[in-house]
Structure formats: C-alpha cells, structure tokens
Structure 1
Amino acid sequence: MNLFFLMLRSSWKASLASVVLGGASGLATLALITLIHKSFSNEGMQSTVLPALFVAACVAVLVLQILSKCILTRLSQSTAARLQFELCNRIMAAPLPELESVGPHRLLGTLQGDVGAITGALSNFPSVCASAMVLVSGIGYLANLSIPLAFCTVFMASIAVASYLAGVHWANYHLRRAREDRDEVTKQLQAMVFGIKELKANNRRCIDFIYEVLLPADTAMRQRLIKGTDILGGAHTWGRLSLFIGIGLLIFVWPRMWTVTPETLMGYTLTIIYLTSPLDNILGWLPALNHAAISLNKINALGLMIDPAKAPVVNSADTGFRSIEMRDISYSYQSPIEGETGFHLGPIDMQIRPGEALFIVGGNGCGKTTLAKILTGLYPAHSGEILVDRHVIDNASMGDYRQLFSTVFVEGHLFDRLLGNDLNPMLLRHWAHRLGIEDKVDFETGQLKTYKLSRGQHKRLAMLVACMDQRPVFVFDEWAAEQDPTFKEIFYREIVPELKQKGRAVVAITHDDRYFFAADRVVKIVDGKVETTTNERMVA
C-alpha cells in the first residue's frame, strides 16, 4: 500500500485520472469481445450497426490507453523525482554519525537502485488498472451467460492466483536477501574504484580481491536473484497453464455433466481465452510490485522514508560572534565488540574568540577530529553544552550554528564548482595566487579543476573554497600534513596571521610543533581528554 500512497501523495488528481482512464479502456476492450461474440450469431452477421460499434470501440481503446499511459508516465517520473529529492533532503538533514554508520554504498544503492525499482512498478500501473477492469467486467459478462459456469470459472481462477501468490511469497525471501547482498556488491565495487592504485600495485592483492571478495559477493547475490526469479517464473507459468486447464474442463467435462448450449460454450471459451491476457498482465506486474515493495522496505530500514525533512535555510543576517564556549562536552563511540567499551572523548572545556588561533595537538586516535566535528556541529555531543555569546545551542538552532564554520577535513570532498556564495573574482584571484593554484580555477565561472590533483593541491583547493565562504571560524584538520615546506611556511606565517587580522578565529589540528608560535593557545588531547593548555604567546 505504501507504493499507492506514494503515488497519491505526488498527485492524487493525476492518479485518479490514470486509474479512471485505464478502467475505461478496459471496459472498451471488453466491449470489443462482446461485439466479436455477437457477430457469430445470425443476427450479428446481418447487423449493419456492429461494424460501426466495433470501430468506435477500437478508437476508444486507442485513445483511452494512450491518455492513461501518458498521464502515468509523467506521474511516475514526477513521483520518482519527488522521492529522490526528499531522500536527498533526508540524507542532508540526518545526523552525520547515523549516515556514517549506514555507509555510502547503502545510500547510493537506495538513491539509484531502489528509486528506479519504484518508478518501474509505477510506470505499468495504468495497464494493470485496465486489465483489472477487464477481468471484473469479464466475470460479469460470464455470469450473464451462465451463473454456474461463472462460479466454476472464478473458483478455478482463484486456485491459479492463490498458487501463484504462494510462489511469489516463497520467492520474496530470496529476492529480499538478494537486495541485501547487492549492498555488499556495491560496497566492494566502490572499494575497487577508490582503491584501484593499491590493487594495480600488488597483483596478489588484486587477485585476492577479485576471487575472494568481489566474485563471492556477486555470486551470492546472483544465485539468490536467480532462485527467486526462477520461482516467480514457475509460478507465473503455472498460473497461466491452470487457466487453460480450466478451459479444458469447461470444454470436455462440463457438457458431460450439465447441459450447456453451444453458443454459451463458445462465449465462455472466447472470453476466458481473452481474459488470460489481462490476468497475465496483472500476474506479470506483481514481481515489479514486489521489487518496489522490497525497495520501499529498504528505504524504511535505512530510516530515510519520505517524511518531509527540514530544508536548509539561508540566513543572510550577520553571523559574527564574541565567543564560542564548550562546557563539559563528551562523546562516546559504540564498540563493535559486544561487552567492550568504545572510545570516549571528554569532558572537554574550551573557548574560542574572534581573531585568535587555537591549535589542537595529540597522537593519532586521541579524539582530535571527533572534537572538531562536535565543535562544528556535525556530531551531536552526548553530554555537555555549546554556547555562543552565552546562549546555549539546542537542536533547533544547530543548523544556524554550523553556518559559523568553514572547514577543511582530512578526507574532505571537492565539488567541481564554487557553491554557496556569490562569485567574487578579485577575492578568488587573491586566494588562488596565495595558494599557488591559479591553473586549477576558472575565475570567470568559478569552475574548479578537481581531477589529476596531488593531495597537497586537493587540500589547497579545499582551503580556497573555505576562504571564499568567509565564515567567522576556520577549522583545518591536519591541513599542512601533506604540504611541501614552502606551503607549510605560507600557511603558518602568512595565511593564519591574515585570517586573524581579519577577525577570523582559526582552529587547526596539527602535528607541526615547530610552528606552534603561530598559535595563541595550544590544546593537547591525550586519550580523549585535555591534558594541557598552553598559551604560546606567553611562552614565546
């Protein structure tokens, strides 16, 4: 039912129109069968009206089916677009830790495969409506010819449909498992694309990945998919064959048990043969409906169902601040091993003011990046509070709070154009020249050449984007770690002082102790706790 709710939610008027037109085309098609049956009678052979009615019915079928399919094609595409747009909104509104736990391979599988499956099921809906109307009207026509025969026909058809649905239910188990396996295949394909250099550099690793990781995952998915599809195919074939068995019983058994006129028998045979086509259409659509239902369940399982998400709001007001304070902040990771305690950060007390540089130092895995994500509002603290100008930041104001920060993380993504700010060619030239990446920027359009970049160039482009945002606080996560000595000097001796002079706060995660003189304060994190806070200006 979620699929139909989704379609009605997109446009109930278009949904109703497509259903009505599809049903009308089904009635017009049944009228063709009725006219054909009447044409075999003596009265029909001599009638001059039947040919005209037959032509009119043909035109009606043509027009109604075309209109119905055109409406539903637009409806299915708009529904898919709406679903994908709302899923994207849900993803962007969801907490970052939840998205990281889901994994990019599952998100991509949902956005690409599941939305397509839903669209495919919706695209054939009008013809299914027409087929359903033909079946209902056909049963009524059969009852008009002979009620006992109609009862037996419905009974046989019910057995055929019930057996088919039992096969569908059996196949669902394998198809659901195949959908789960597809996430694993997507994950490994993603690993192959991003790890292609490592695979090419080691033939043994490449062979192990293909034959022990990728191929087994793909084989498991396809085996389940084949098994489920085979069961569906067998059930579909049996459903169709059972109808012909019913026709055989009607022709060879029924006349021996009850009296029936040849005209009635011919009408039944002709109508039932015709009804096999719409019934086959409905039965053939059920697997697509089943795939769509599995996809909707997958979306539900990811917590990304189509409930409206709060859209980002652009706030044009002044986003300056006098102080940002973290009080008694803590955050805990859940251990993947049951019974063990995960990494814990905190309690952390820290304050940031405009025009100062704060360096955060510590060993790998001590919690520096986690602290930066909490500071920038990407991770919600499990306890404690963040205050801006002595006002507590709650969930409702967290979106606005995040707009205070321009960030460059270790594994940050680069878009191929400047987004989120008005193009300022003069400022763009200034930072591109300062960072030595003039050849990577189109100053007229804001396009960025994000391909064939070294890690150092990638981070310098990311810094350019951050500087173009001109936010009050800059957060750099080990930005200088992959820079050559020249750009390290530029960063610590020129860029950090320039940002401070403009009243920006700079928070830098770094291991470069020889440049600590550039900081106003240095905070050292050890095992998730603040060990020392040093005023470097006073030390110098």
Structure 2
Amino acid sequence: MPSSIEVRKSILIHLLKLNYRIISFSAIISLIGGISTSALLVVINECIRSGVNTDYNLLIYFVFLCVIASVSSVCADISVNLTGQRIIASARRVLAARILVAPIDALERYRTYRLIPVLTHDIETVSNSAVAISSFAVSATICICGLAYLLFISPTLMIIVVFFLFFSAAAQIIAQSRAVVEFNQARSHEDQIQKCYRAIAEGAKELRLHRKRRYNIYNLKLKPIIQEIYGKQIRAVNLYVSARAFNTITYFSVVGIVLLARDSSWLNIDLATSAGFIIILLYLRGQFEQIIGVLPVIGRAIVSLRRIDDLAEQFSNPEIGISHTLENVEPGQKMTLKKDFAVIELQKIKFSYSSGETRQQFAVGPIDLVIRSGEIIFIVGENGSGKTTLIKLLLALYAPAAGVLLLDGQEVTAESRDDYRQMFTTVFSDYYLFDDIVSETVCLPEVATQYLRRFEIDHKIGADTRSASEIDLSTGQRKRLALLKAWLEDRPILIFDEWAADQDPMFRRVFYQDLLPELKNSGKTVIAISHDDRYFEIADQILCLKDGVLTNYISVNALGSNELVQTSDCEIEPNGSSKGG
C-alpha cells in the first residue's frame, strides 16, 4: 500500500511526520526571529539604563539584531507558509487517495453533502491558518523571552506580573475552549446548509413549480440554519472579544502597579529598572495582542482539522486489492485481466444494508444466478426491489455477507475483485459523465460515428472533440453519449441501469432493436435493468426481483410460447409484458 493512504490514528500526525524536516526548519527560524527581537528589547533597555554615555558595542549589537530579526521574520513567514501549503497539498492527496480506494458502501454512507465541504471549506480554513500560526509562533517566542528578561531585571515585579498573567491566561483558555465548541456546532450546520444549497440548485425547476415547497425550503430550512450559524459564529467571536478586554484591563493593571512600585520602600526599585520594565511590558502587549488575535483563526482550524481527521478515519480502511492501483495500472497478481469469459455465477449470495436516514434494514438474497457469455439479460422489478443492489453485487462493488461470486469456476476474492471489475462497463441511472470522450490516441470508429448520427449527437461532437465539457448537451444527449463511451471501452460485459427510462421512443428503439443485438453479435454480454416490456423478446433471460429475492429465470424460449409463464410474484405475458415486476 502506498504511503499516501497509510492508516493513521490522526491524519495531522501523519502529515507532520511526512514534513518534519521543513517543519523543524520553520520552527528554528521562528525561534531565531523571536529571540533576536527579544534581544533587541534587551539592548534598547540597556541603552536606556546606561544613561548619557553611549556604549558603541550596544549599537553594533542593535544593528546586527535588527538585520537578524528582519531577515528571520521574512524567512519565518515564507517557511511557515510553505510548510502549511505542503501539509495542505499532502492532506488533499491523502484524502483523495483514501476516497478513491474506499469501499463503495463507505462512500454512500458518508454522503456527498458532507464530503465536499471537508475537501473545500475545511481544507481552505486550515490553509489560511498557516500564516497566522507563523505570527503566533514568533509572538509566543518574543513573549517568553521578554518575560524571562523581566524576571532577570526584577524578580519581585515579575511575581506580580505572573500573578496577573495567570488570570489573563485562564480567561483566554476558557474563551478558547468555549469558542471552539461554538465553532464546531456552526460547522455541523454547514453540512446541512450544503444539503439545502444542493437542493435549491439541482431542484430549481421543481421548486419553480411548487410554491409551498419553495417557501418551506427557504423559511423552514435555510433561514433557521443560516441564523443558527450566524448566532454560533457571533457568540464564538464575542467570547474572544470579552477575554481580550479582560486581558487589556489586566495588562494595564500590571503597568499601573509597576508605576506605583517606584514609590514603595519595600520593593526598592530604581527609576531605570521600572522604566525599562514598563517599556518592555508595553512592547509585549502588542505581541500578546497578536497571539490573541490569531486564536479565532486557530480555533476554526482546530474544528476543520477534526472534520478532516474524521473523514480520513471514515475512509481509513481501503478496499483490499485496490490500493496499489493508484501507483500501478497493471493488473494484480491474483487474476489476469480477461477480454472474454464463459460464465459468471452467483451462488447463495446474501447482502443487507441500512436504507436511507431511516436506517431501515433491507436484505437481498439468497441469490443464485448464472450469466453466460454473449447473453442479453433484463432485470425487472418494482422500485426498491433490489435491482441496483444486485448489479452492485454482480460488479463486486458490494462484498456479500454470504455466498460466493465465481468467474469461470474461479472464486472472485477480495484480492482479485478489482481485476474482475475491469471486465465491466456501466451506465448507472445516476451515472457520471467524465470529460474525456475518447482516448487521446484513439479515433472514433466508423460504426461509432454512425451511432452518433442515429442518436443525433453527431453535430455536437466533432473529430477534434476530446472533452465533454467542451460541448453543450441536454440530459438525454449526455446519457446517449455516456452509452457510446461505455461501448467504446470495448469490455466484454455492458450494464445499463434503466438507460432508456428518459429517452424518446425513437432512441429507445435504436437502443433495443439495433444496439443491443449488435453488441450481442459482437460477442458482448449485456445486462440491463428495464421496464420496457415491449422489447422483452430480445432478451435471453429475464430476472425478476421482488423484495430482494430473485424469483426465477425466464428464458426467451418461454416468451415465445403461447402459455403464460408465472414465477412466484413475477408474470411475463407471451408478448413480453410484465405484471407485478
């Protein structure tokens, strides 16, 4: 398995380990910048304390430290930004790799509306925090070194400073912890708002036709979620503002106490010491403000990192036998890729899953099925009967809970599953049309050009057209193009999931009466989920599903008889029409 998809407890720890050299360099540069700036404060304070006599050695140190502080500050910002961007790029690669090799059912459970915000919003949030973390690191170093110097020049005053800083830090920690909770809750609502945005974009036509639904989605779903996010974000930032105000009061209280300490006989602090103490305190206030200012950014980044880590954890177990394919397109060692086959068998296959948000259990099987090379097979059944699930089991996209899948008598194991899938090409009902129409090195064959004309998309696709994004296609045209792309892949088995459902009668006729028989004559096996009973006579087998159970096989010979063929809950009339399926 490649290192980019190794299973780790935390993706952040994994990425930090991958980039430890540049992270170490960035930390050292930030440390140098903070120390050199702190040393400048020491030099300035010593110049003040030295009185009228100028110490030229101090001036040389001053110039030297100015150069070091300036250069290290620039280098720190550049290196930390580089580090952050490298980590973000690594995170994107890791997440993309894990998603590509994750089991299909894991992807289906996670849902797209949750997946996309993590890959876009959360990654961007963490990316934007890189420079803020650089400022935080430099300012924290300056504060630590500055406080150490204050301890050196007056331990007594430093005790007072530490006392007040304790309460200031406590307030900031409380604010940070509570604000992160608010940010996390707001981020949870972001998933829901993404779901609503998807609904109003993809359901735009339906919403124009349904006034009440349009009103409900805006007033009962979108507005409450938006208001909730608004409230959470405001409360989180207000916590930081309140803590910042408390810190300001605390800080100036310390300055006031130092001023009063000059007149205190028991503290015995001279004017130069108190003046230097106050100057450094006032400078450190800016650094503390810098730290406090980036805390909201860091708080949001913490929430986003949790989401990224959760996504990585959800897809931390890659499908066996597939992870190597991201670096090597050659077939695995367990099974040689086949361009033909004799028979595929499903023996006692069982599978169950939770359906939708109701978590209702749905079971398929036990299923016994034999598919022979060169057959045309139709799968019929009511909506929700398990037709698409059966297809996914046949494709080995789902691992059965029981039973075996055989290819020419050889069991399709977890290790050989990916090689087995390369025999299939599909057009699902929820298909995705990839941009590449044909390979850069492949020309459209003449027969494909003929079907482009018959499907009436030849005027859309020219000889030089290589990308589907280059052309404007209707929904029906895109589906016809998807079919031709599947055919051009020249794989032995083609699967169509209700392809003809939204096509005009003319294109249905071309599909059933011309294309499918031609595919069969060329030795291809075709499996189609279909409700077009008028074309059932072209099938070699018709499989009827009801409530996840395959009731029986119905052969084309039976359809040619004059008697009604009845198999449990599925009836096929002699002319090919179906009942109950």
Alignment partner, residue 510 of structure 1:
530
Alignment of 1:459-538 (within 5 A): 459-537=479-557
CA distance in 1, matches of 2:15, 2:330: 34
Alignment partner, residue 363 of structure 2:
344
> Shift in Å at residue 539 of structure 1?
3.9
Alignment partner, residue 209 of structure 1:
217
Alignment partner, residue 408 of structure 2:
389
Q: 1:480 to 1:194 in 2, by over 3 A?
A: same
Kept after mapping to 1: 8 A contact 2:133/2:298: no
Q: Which structure features the higher share of helix residues?
A: 1
Alignment partner, residue 329 of structure 2:
314
Q: 2:95 aligns with which of 72, 87, 101?
A: 87
Q: 1:415 to 1:236 in 2, by over 3 A?
A: farther
> Shift in Å at residue 40 of structure 1?
1.7
3-state DSSP class of the match of 2:468? Answer: coil
Q: Confirm whether residue 283 of structure 1 aligns to residue 292 of structure 2.
A: yes
> Shift in Å at residue 315 of structure 1?
2.9
Kept after mapping to 2: 8 A contact 1:22/1:65: yes
Q: 1:272 aligns with which of 281, 294, 312?
A: 281
Q: 1:319 to 1:375 in 2, by over 3 A?
A: same
Kept after mapping to 1: 8 A contact 2:77/2:134: yes
CA distance in 1, matches of 2:324, 2:194: 29
Per-residue deviation, residues 173-231 of structure 1 (Å, max 9, x unmatched): 22211111111111101111101111122333322221122111111121112111211
Q: 2:421 aligns with which of 397, 402, 405?
A: 402
TM-score by length of 2: 0.86
> Shift in Å at residue 145 of structure 1?
0.5
Unaligned segments of structure 1, at least 5 residues = none
Kept after mapping to 1: 8 A contact 2:34/2:138: yes
CA distance in 2, matches of 1:304, 1:430: 49
Per-residue deviation, residues 22-77 of structure 1 (Å, max 9, x unmatched): 11011111122122212223456523343333222222111111112112222211
CA distance in 2, matches of 1:299, 1:305: 10
> Shift in Å at residue 17 of structure 1?
0.8
Unaligned segments of structure 2, at least 5 residues = 1-8, 561-581
Kept after mapping to 2: 8 A contact 1:476/1:509: yes
Q: 2:174 aligns with which of 166, 171, 181?
A: 166
Q: 1:308 to 1:114 in 2, by over 3 A?
A: farther
CA distance in 2, matches of 1:468, 1:254: 89
3-state DSSP class of the match of 2:544? Answer: strand
The letter of the residue matching 1:397 is S
Alignment partner, residue 6 of structure 2:
none
Kept after mapping to 2: 8 A contact 1:406/1:474: yes
Structure 1, 164-173 or 373-382: larger mean CA deviation: 373-382
Alignment of 1:224-303 (within 5 A): 224-253=232-261, 255-256=263-264, 257-303=266-312
Q: 2:474 aligns with which of 437, 442, 454?
A: 454
Alignment partner, residue 369 of structure 1:
388
Structure 1, 83-92 or 247-256: larger mean CA deviation: 247-256
3-state DSSP class of the match of 2:377? Answer: strand
TM-score by length of 1: 0.93
> Shift in Å at residue 472 of structure 1?
1.7
The letter of the residue matching 2:403 is G
Q: Report sequence identity in percent.
A: 30
Alignment partner, residue 73 of structure 1:
81
Q: 1:437 to 1:149 in 2, by over 3 A?
A: same
Q: 1:156 aligns with which of 141, 164, 177?
A: 164
Alignment partner, residue 576 of structure 2:
none
Kept after mapping to 2: 8 A contact 1:23/1:130: yes
Q: 1:494 to 1:537 in 2, by over 3 A?
A: farther
Kept after mapping to 1: 8 A contact 2:179/2:299: no
Q: 1:488 to 1:307 in 2, by over 3 A?
A: closer
> Shift in Å at residue 79 of structure 1?
1.2
Q: 1:119 aligns with which of 114, 122, 127?
A: 127
Alignment partner, residue 197 of structure 1:
205
Q: 1:66 to 1:303 in 2, by over 3 A?
A: closer
Q: 1:42 to 1:221 in 2, by over 3 A?
A: closer
Q: Confirm whether residue 417 of structure 1 aligns to residue 432 of structure 2.
A: no
Kept after mapping to 1: 8 A contact 2:262/2:270: no
Alpha carbon RMSD of aligned pairs, Å?
2.5
Q: 1:44 to 1:100 in 2, by over 3 A?
A: farther
Kept after mapping to 2: 8 A contact 1:405/1:474: yes
Q: Confirm whether residue 26 of structure 1 aligns to residue 34 of structure 2.
A: yes
CA distance in 2, matches of 1:283, 1:110: 26
CA distance in 2, matches of 1:434, 1:137: 78
The letter of the residue matching 2:512 is Y
Kept after mapping to 2: 8 A contact 1:477/1:509: yes
Kept after mapping to 2: 8 A contact 1:86/1:306: no
> Shift in Å at residue 452 of structure 1?
5.1
The letter of the residue matching 2:329 is V
> Shift in Å at residue 127 of structure 1?
2.5
The letter of the residue matching 2:484 is L
CA distance in 2, matches of 1:155, 1:467: 77
3-state DSSP class of the match of 1:360? Answer: strand
CA distance in 2, matches of 1:449, 1:281: 47
Q: How many residues align?
A: 539
The letter of the residue matching 1:284 is G
Kept after mapping to 2: 8 A contact 1:405/1:475: yes
> Shift in Å at residue 460 of structure 1?
0.4
Q: 1:7 to 1:382 in 2, by over 3 A?
A: closer
Kept after mapping to 2: 8 A contact 1:243/1:276: yes
> Shift in Å at residue 319 of structure 1?
2.4
Q: Confirm whether residue 218 of structure 1 aligns to residue 233 of structure 2.
A: no
CA distance in 2, matches of 1:151, 1:343: 68
The letter of the residue matching 2:410 is H
> Shift in Å at residue 3 of structure 1?
8.2
